[in-house]
Amino acid sequence: MKKITLVCMFLGFHLFYGQDSTGAVKKQEVVLPAKNPMDIGELKINLDPKGERWLKFGINSQIWLRSIENNPGTKVNGVPQDQTYDAGIRRMRLTVQSQLTPFYSVYLQVGINNQTFISGGGSGTGANGAGKKPGLFFHDAYNEFTIIPRTDFNTGKPNKNNLYIGAGLHSWNGVSRMTNASTTKLLAADLPIFNFPTIEVADQFARQFGVFVHGDLDRINYRFSVNKPFATSNTPAVGSAAVDNNQSGKLSYAGYAFYQFFEKEATVTSFLPGNNLAKKKVLNIGSGFYLNKEGTQSQPAANVFESHDVSIFGADVYSEIPMGNKKKEMGLTLYSVFYRYNYGPDYIRMSGLMNPGTADTSFTGQKALEGPGNNRVLMGTGNIFFLQAGFVLPKFSNTVKVQPFVNYTLKDMDALHQKGNYYDVGTSFYFYGQNARLAVQYSSRPLYDTASRTVFDRKGELIILFHIVL
Residue 353: pLDDT band with limits 50, 70, 90: very high
Q: Chain-centre distance of CA 229, in angstroms?
A: 18
- Cβ-count burial of 357 within 10 angstroms (0-12 exposed, 13-18 middle, 19+ buried)? buried
Sketch the domain layout of the chain as residue ranges: 1-27, 32-469
Residue 123: pLDDT band with limits 50, 70, 90: low
How far is Cα 187 from Cα 193, in angstroms, rounded to an integer? Answer: 14
Half-sphere exposure of 448 (CA within 13 A, CB side): 25
Residue 391's DSSP bridge partners are: 332
What CATH fold (topology level) applies to the domain 32-469?
Porin (2.40.160)
pLDDT tens by residue, 142-172: 999 999 999 888 888 889 999 999 999 999 9
Percent of the chain predicted with pLDDT > 70:
90
**pLDDT of 229 over the 80 cut:** yes
> Burial letters for 61-84: b for 16+ Cβ neighbours within 10 Å, e otherwise?
bbebebebbbbbbbbbeeeebeeb
User: With a threshold of 0.75, does the pTM exceed it?
Assistant: yes
34-38-42-47 Cα dihedral, nearest 10 degrees: -20
Residue 101: pLDDT band with limits 50, 70, 90: confident
